[in-house]
């Protein structure tokens, strides 16, 4: 067996307030395909950013050895010079430049600042042949599909004389056919002697291409398994991914007993959403689910499962293209074609991305809280500033938002306090149904508990809660019922009693052909 080409020893990476990686060790052998898997937030991407120099040497602790030498990458160029190339989930191509121009961007075949086009095109054609992409190198990148763009990225990596190729969830945006081709290419490159690290949580993919798999959990490397060994089953990998000690705490929840006969507060029937650009792709496929008053219903799923896309499309068509389905509120069909309509029917959607979709960061706490329901503090179109201030003060106290005054710009608050402002804003709107999308993402344990308490109280007041989360313990601790989603489809529904992390994870990692 070949020796290690890469060793990462005891890597620790801290962001303000969060320890993203605590003691990760990774050993990759020469010429293998090494998979890294773990839940969202387990530290996979952060680890790869440390490796590729996005997080420069000095911003983390620990040691990186590549081909036996200690590496101290200052930036991404430094790691590329050593032959380490990372392909991010969001492709870094310039859409209106040609394939050839993209491949050699920043690395042009040029003499004294002038590009040698003959050499560029010749070399590009050669690289495209290597990755099996049958397109003319002068085609614009915008004119080819995502799958082919992925291949262009790999061609670009090959042009840099890559020795270690890192792919961050390369098939997340691809359909089955393109995924298959890409996985074949990875195996082909392996035959040519290129080592790959592939981040994925699709277990069938890992089994197909990887030689070994390292499991990360809560910023730690848990174990490295030999994928080809008989005892490495999908269940074995799953138990590694979820088997954490439940040190999170949740408020005491009395299980909910739905009123017999009452219609669900919100029911979604056969909801289908197409991707906004790639219209062939269904990001949510005939999803049906319901939630009753006083009930907390979880939706579990990994990245790309379609949970956010579904919720945002139901909430005023805020994402993607609607392609069928109905919404019923208290048994009556309603229209939610605009956000205003959805809000009018008593639905609130609390976004997973508070900075981009939840808050006006340059504005103050009070103005952010009042925005959705300005009418409540206004008289004939004129806002009563004093009442608005009182409302904000009330939420500052009840939600324990840590800020000197309500006139503080929201951008200056910590993540947990920003989340409390977003929640306050939607609670103030007075909805019957709250869709909470990753409400505890990126906030510390103390603030998490506070937010759980608020959610529990809302349910006790008779509100219907849909709780989207990637953290299984959180769903198990908070929900009365849990749905699982994978690749746009609903793959299971479990009561609180039935649900365990293993059962849920099995349904979350189901890919399409397995479901059928």
Q: Is 202 helix (H, G, I), strand (E, B) or coil?
A: coil
258, 297, 399, 430 from 479: Cα distances, Å: 13, 5, 21, 21
> In angstroms, rounded to a whole number, what is the distance separating the alpha carbons of residues 183 and 206?
10
* Residue number, 61 or 363, with CB nearest to another protein: 363
Q: How far is the CB of 415 from another protein (least distance, A)?
A: 16
83, 244, 331 from 77: Cα distances, Å: 10, 37, 58
Q: How far is the CB of 377 from another protein (least distance, A)?
A: 9
* Residue number, 229 or 340, with CB nearest to another protein: 340
Listed in sequence order, the residues at least 6 apart from 56 whose beta carbon sits closer than 8 Å to its beta carbon are 73, 74, 75
Q: How far is the CB of 362 from another protein (least distance, A)?
A: 5
* Residue number, 372 or 484, with CB nearest to another protein: 372
Count the neighbouring beta carbons within 10 Å of the beta carbon of residue 319. 20
* Residue number, 66 or 315, with CB nearest to another protein: 315
Q: How far is the CB of 384 from another protein (least distance, A)?
A: 8
Q: How far is the CB of 311 from another protein (least distance, A)?
A: 11
* Residue number, 21 or 343, with CB nearest to another protein: 343
* Residue number, 267 or 388, with CB nearest to another protein: 388
Q: How far is the CB of 313 from another protein (least distance, A)?
A: 12
Q: How far is the CB of 314 from another protein (least distance, A)?
A: 13
* Residue number, 188 or 385, with CB nearest to another protein: 385
Task: For 367-510, list the strands marked E by DSSP.
Answer: 378-379, 382-383, 433-437, 464-469, 481-486, 489-495
* Residue number, 202 or 307, with CB nearest to another protein: 307
Query: Which residue stretches of 4-75 are H helix?
Result: 44-52
**Dmax (CA) of the chain:** 79
Q: Is 93 helix (H, G, I), strand (E, B) or coil?
A: coil
28 sits in which H/E element: strand 18-29
Q: How far is the CB of 370 from another protein (least distance, A)?
A: 8
* Residue number, 330 or 341, with CB nearest to another protein: 341
User: For the chain, how far is it from start to end, CA to CA, in angstroms?
Assistant: 39
Contact, 301 vs 509, CB < 8 A? no
User: Can you tell me which residue has the tokens 């840590």?
Assistant: 402
* Residue number, 386 or 516, with CB nearest to another protein: 386
Contact, 421 vs 388, CB < 8 A? no
DSSP summary character for residue 464: E
> In angstroms, rounded to a whole number, what is the distance separating the alpha carbons of residues 350 and 312?
10
Q: How far is the CB of 237 from another protein (least distance, A)?
A: 37
* Residue number, 10 or 390, with CB nearest to another protein: 390
Q: Parallel, antiparallel, or unpaired for β 296-300 and 481-486? A: parallel
Q: How far is the CB of 380 from another protein (least distance, A)?
A: 9
Contact, 79 vs 53, CB < 8 A? yes
Q: State whether the Cα torsion 492-298-219-75 is positive or negative.
A: positive
Sites of contact with another protein (CB under 8 A): 315-316, 318, 338-340, 342-343, 349, 351, 356-363, 367, 370-372, 374-375, 378, 381-383, 385-386, 389-390, 393, 405, 425
**What torsion, rounded to 10 degrees, do the Cα atoms 291, 431, 471, 150 define?**
100
Q: How far is the CB of 369 from another protein (least distance, A)?
A: 11
108, 150, 215 from 89: Cα distances, Å: 24, 9, 19
* Residue number, 137 or 431, with CB nearest to another protein: 431
> In angstroms, rounded to a whole number, what is the distance separating the alpha carbons of residues 365 and 9?
43
Q: How far is the CB of 146 from another protein (least distance, A)?
A: 23
- 269 φ/ψ angles, rounded to the nearest 5 degrees: -120, 125
Query: Which residue stretches of 82-170 are H helix?
Result: 99-103, 117-131, 146-159
């Amino acid at each position: 067996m070949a020796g290690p080409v890469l060793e990462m020893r005891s890597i620790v990476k801290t962001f303000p307030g969060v320890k993203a990686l605590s003691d990760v060790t990774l050993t990759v052998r020469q010429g293998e395909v090494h998979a890294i898997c773990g839940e969202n937030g387990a530290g996979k991407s952060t680890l790869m950013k440390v490796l590729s120099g996005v997080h420069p040497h000095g911003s983390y602790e620990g040691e990186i050895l590549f081909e036996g030498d200690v590496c101290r990458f200052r930036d991404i160029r430094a790691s590329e010079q050593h032959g380490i190339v990372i392909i991010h989930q969001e492709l870094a191509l310039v859409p209106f430049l040609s394939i050839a121009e993209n491949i050699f961007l920043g690395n042009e075949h040029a003499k004294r600042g002038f590009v040698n086009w003959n050499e560029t095109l010749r070399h590009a054609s050669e690289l495209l042949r290597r990755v099996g992409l049958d397109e003319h190198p002068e085609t614009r990148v915008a004119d080819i599909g995502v799958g082919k763009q992925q291949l262009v990225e790999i061609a670009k990596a090959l042009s840099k004389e890559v020795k270690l190729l890192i792919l961050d969830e390369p098939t997340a945006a691809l359909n089955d056919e393109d995924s298959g081709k890409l996985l074949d290419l990875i195996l082909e490159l392996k035959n040519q002697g290129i080592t790959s690290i592939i981040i994925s949580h699709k277990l069938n993919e890992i089994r197909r291409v990887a030689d070994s798999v390292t499991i990360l959990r809560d910023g730690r490397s848990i174990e490295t398994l030999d994928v080809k060994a008989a005892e490495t089953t999908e269940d074995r990998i799953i138990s590694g991914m979820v088997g954490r000690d439940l040190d999170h705490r949740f408020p005491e929840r009395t299980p909910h007993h739905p009123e017999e006969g009452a219609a669900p507060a919100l029911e979604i029937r056969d909801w289908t959403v197409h991707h906004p650009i790639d219209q062939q792709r269904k990001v949510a496929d005939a999803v049906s689910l319901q939630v009753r008053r006083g009930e907390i219903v979880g939706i579990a799923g990994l990245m790309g499962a379609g949970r956010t896309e579904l919720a945002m499309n139901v909430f005023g068509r805020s994402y993607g293209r609607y392609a069928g389905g109905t919404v019923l509120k208290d048994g009556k069909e309603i229209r939610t074609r605009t956000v205003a309509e959805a809000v009018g029917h008593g639905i609130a959607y609390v976004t997973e991305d508070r900075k981009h979709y939840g808050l006006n960061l340059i504005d103050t706490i009070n103005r952010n809280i009042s925005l959705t329901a300005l009418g409540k503090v206004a008289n004939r179109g004129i806002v009563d500033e004093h009442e608005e201030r009182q409302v904000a003060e009330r939420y500052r106290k009840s939600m324990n938002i840590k800020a000197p005054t309500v006139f503080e710009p929201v951008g200056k608050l910590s993540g947990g306090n920003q989340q409390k402002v977003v929640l306050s804003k939607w609670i103030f709107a007075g909805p019957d149904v709250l869709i909470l999308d990753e409400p505890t993402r990126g906030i510390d344990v103390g603030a998490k508990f506070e937010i759980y308490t608020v959610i529990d109280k809302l349910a006790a007041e008779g509100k219907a809660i849909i709780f989207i989360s990637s953290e299984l313990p959180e769903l198990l601790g908070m929900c009365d019922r849990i749905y699982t989603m994978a690749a746009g489809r609903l793959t299971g529904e479990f009561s609180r009693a039935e649900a365990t992390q293993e059962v849920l994870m099995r349904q979350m990692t189901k890919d399409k052909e397995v479901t059928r």
